[in-house]
Amino acid sequence: MDKKETTRVFTGHSDWVYSLAIDEKSKRLASGSYDGEVRVWNLEDGQVLAHFIAAPGYLQTEQRVSRGE
């Protein structure tokens, strides 16, 4: 088994993260958590670009991808 190295840690959620979506083209990561929050992250520097709050424990996920091509 290859040895893996941590390259970045994203901190901000206060409960388990259960959903991730990555857009490699725009270098963005979206994370959904049981804390009822969705965060959009910049993959290059780890900064939060957007933060949405819903009811804790009731957040459902839906993925929509538009490439604009």
Can you give the pLDDT at residue 42? 95
Side-chain-facing half-sphere of 58: CA atoms under 13 Å: 4
Residues 6+ apart with CB under 8 A from 62: none
Nearest to 39 by CA among 52, 26, 27, 21: 52
Residues 6+ apart with CB under 8 A from 17: 31, 32, 33
pLDDT tens digits, one per residue of 9-65? 899 999 999 889 999 899 999 998 888 899 999 999 999 999 988 766 555 555 555
pTM for this prediction: 0.73
Q: What is the largest CA-CA distance in the chain?
A: 40
Taken as a whole, the chain contains a residue count of: 69
Can you give the pLDDT at residue 39? 93
